[in-house]
Structure formats: C-alpha cells, structure tokens
Amino acid sequence: MTKEDLWKPVAQMDPTQTMSLQATDSARTFQPLVSLIINNYNYAAFLSQAIDSCLSQTYPHVEVIVVDDGSKDGSAQVIEGYGAKVTPVLKANGGQASAMNRGFSISSGEIVIFLDADDYLMPHAVETVVADWQPETAQLHYRLKVVNTTGDVLGFCPAPGVRLASGTVWPLLIEQGRYNANVTSGNAFSRSALEKVLPIPEADFKIAADGYLVAAIPFWGSVAAIEEPLGYYRQHSSNAWSNSQATQDSQKLASRLRWSLKHDSHRYRWIQHQAEALGHSTHENLGLRDYMHLIDRLASLRLDPKQHPFSSDSYAQIARSGIWAVWQQEYLTPVRKFTLLVWFAIAGFTPNLFAIPTITWFLLPTSRPQFIQKTIRSIKSLCPA
C-alpha cells in the first residue's frame, strides 16, 4: 500500500487494502515517523526543556536527534544525561545551517521538525501536525507563543494581525519575495521536499537558516497552516533576533537591521535559483516588493544613513514602495494593514523628530512610552483581529 492509498476513502480501496484500516474509527491511518531535530549552540540553560518537550509528545512515532554545534557551556553533558532516549550529534561549530544539515543527514522521519534549543513544543504538537498533514504537503507551519527566559507569555509569533499563508505560495515568493511564514520552530517539513533543497547553504545561513527553508520548500509542494499555537518561541538576551530588543541604542539596532538586509539578499538569491530551476522567473527587484524588508530598509536609512547599504535609497522612495507592498498583502488583517500603512507614512514622509521615535517604538516594543502601550491595547480591544 502506498502513502497515497492511506488517504483514499475506504470505498475506493480494494478489500485487501481496507483490512489495515479496520482497527481505526476512520480511513486515515497515516502514522509516519516524525524526526524532531534540535539544533543547539550554547543553550545549556534551555536545552533540557526543549528535549523534554520532544520526549513528552502524545504522538508515539518520533525520533529525537540533538545536534550540538560546538557548544562551550556544558550542553554536551546535558545531552549525555538523556542516554539512549535521544540520538546525540556532537560536532565542531559551523553555524545553524550546518547543524540542521547534519541532523537531517542521520534522520529517518517522513516529517521533520527543526527545533531551536531555546524553544520548546506543546505535548500535542506532533499529533496535531500529523492529523492535519496531507499527501501534497511540503510545509506545515503553526503559531508559537512568545515567552521570556522564565516562560512568561509575552505574545504570539507571528503577531495576531498576521495570518499564516497557505496553499500554493510560490507565486508570492517570485512576485513579493516573501509569504507570511513562521520561524524555525514553527514549521514541519516533508522529507521528500527537504531532499530536493538540502543541504542549506552554510556560508549564507550560519544563523536564521529557516530563511532558506521557507524560501525554497514551497516550490515543491503545498503549504498548510495551523493558526493555533503548538509551541513556544523564547526571547532572551542571547537570542540573535531578540538581542536588540533589550536596548534602545539606535546604532546597535541599525547594525542588526543591516544584517537582516544582507540575510534578505541571500534569501532572494536562493528564491531566484529555485524558481529558475523550475522554469519560473522572479521580479527583478524582490526587495522593493517585500514589505518586511522595506520596514528594515527604511529604518536602517533613517537610523544610520552613512552605513546604509543601499546608497540610492531615499525616504520617500522606500516609503512609497512599502505602502504599495502592504496594500498588496492578503494575509494581513485590516487593523494590521492600516497600522503598517500609517507607519510607512510617518517613517518616510515626516522629519526625524517624528520618524525616528515611530521607528524605534515599532521595532523595540520595550522602548514604548506607557501612553503608546495603552493606546495599542485600546485599539486591540476595540478591533481584536
């Protein structure tokens, strides 16, 4: 019996095929092995919670692989303490992409979840993913609760005003350079799709390697979305993406933005590579059609114009592109879309006196004055979507 046969209604199967379904209440007996691959670098403080969350899944058919990327903080001892419960991989430091590539190379699961070691899954996460999986699924993403170091819930990832994209999304990639996806720990991938796009280019994606996966995978199947949270995304002082959120130093924020813009350029290049391999053409300048890239680009230009990587940029040009890109978005709620349109208008067309506080308050929530926070809460209470 093939995997496709497992999804056929009973009436369409031969009597010999239906025998294997008699022990269940429905015709869905798809019970794949799911590989949970934890990538770790110096996250010993969080690693046990990540491993425990994988070992406590309600779905029984899982393998847990823990790849330590040359940590120097005692992570190896944490992994060793789990014995045969996990498959350990201890390697020299090479970056997140190299850790994920190595973990995948020894995995066997038909569905693969890459889990950052500072994040963790809810007990029913894998069971829910498998229940929603379809034969054509290449990627299934789900929401995460954002937590701090002690597990206090701070919000959701992505934000409530952003719906996760679903269906055939590669046209969005070649036209807009992006679709609404989630971070590493909020994704499950089919092995067959991963085999077509791996290894992840290690030089380009030492960190934030999910940027490559979500750019390449959709060309090889359908994207499914679960809007309920199935895990936890941790923000802390050592997190590469959250580091700047703990400071109000505009120069540090500008440096992080320049890194993000460079990461986007790598991502666009690999989108173009995947598209061309399949006979598709991409828009000549994806960055000017990607609203999230344009947020970072306008902020970088305002905060540190001397080191901004695009010498021909102007405030008005980027703001106009951002307004157009936001207007085209179908996966933003009306409130979120309106907020972004106003943000681009203020950040792009007003003096620094108004533009820079608008930028920092948007990108660094901890820097917002109390009256701004109260205003946001009031708007959310009136327009919960």
More confident residue, 247 or 37: 37
Scored b (16 or more CB within 10 A) or e, 214-235 reads bbbbbbbbbbbbbeebbbbbbb
Q: Is the pLDDT score of 258 beyond 90?
A: yes
For residues 187 and 141, is the Cβ–Cβ distance under 8 A? yes
Domain 33-234 has CATH 3.30.70.20: no
For position 2, what pLDDT does the model report?
Answer: 39
Cα pseudo-dihedral 103, 107, 111, 117, rounded to 10: -30
Backbone angles phi, psi at 232, to 5 degrees: -130, 130
SS3 labels along 27-64: CCCCCCCEEEEEEECCCHHHHHHHHHHHHCCCCCCEEE
**Average pLDDT rounded to a whole number, residues 26-53:** 91
pTM: 0.86
pLDDT interval class at 1 (50, 70, 90): very low
Q: What is the DSSP letter of 162?
A: B
d(CA 377, CA 278): 46
R_g of the chain, CA atoms, integer Å: 22
pLDDT interval class at 57 (50, 70, 90): very high
Domain range summary for the chain, segments of one domain joined by +:
33-234, 249-382
For position 284, what pLDDT does the model report?
Answer: 85
For position 238, what pLDDT does the model report?
Answer: 62
Q: Is the pLDDT score of 172 beyond 50?
A: yes
> How many C-beta neighbours within 10 Å does residue 108 have?
12
pLDDT interval class at 15 (50, 70, 90): very low
For residue 227, how far is the Cα from the chain centroid?
A: 14
Q: Is the pLDDT score of 369 beyond 80?
A: no
